Amino acid sequence: MDWITNCLSSFSKEELGVVAVVFAFLIGCAFGSAILCAFMRIGKGQTWARGRSKCDVCNKELTWDQLIPIISFIIHGGRCKMCQTKLSWIYPVSEFIAGVIFAGIIYMFFH
Size of the residue set binding Zn ion (CB under 5 A): 6
Is 82 a binder of Zn ion (CB under 5 A)?
A: yes
Q: Taking the complex as a whole, how short is the minimal distance between the CB of residue 46 and Zn ion, in angstroms?
A: 17
Q: Taking the complex as a whole, how short is the minimal distance between the CB of residue 110 and Zn ion, in angstroms?
A: 41
Is 101 a binder of Zn ion (CB under 5 A)?
A: no
Q: Which of 53, 69, 50 is nearest to 61 (CA)?
A: 53
Candidates 3-11, 13-21, 39-47, 50-58: pick the segment binding Zn ion (CB under 5 A): 50-58
- Distance (Å, rounded) from C-alpha 109 to C-alpha 37? 29
Is 58 a binder of Zn ion (CB under 5 A)?
A: yes
Helix locations, 1-111, DSSP H: 2-9, 13-43, 71-75, 90-110
Q: Taking the complex as a whole, how short is the minimal distance between the CB of residue 41 and Zn ion, in angstroms?
A: 17
Binding site for Zn ion (CB under 5 A): 55, 57-58, 80, 82-83
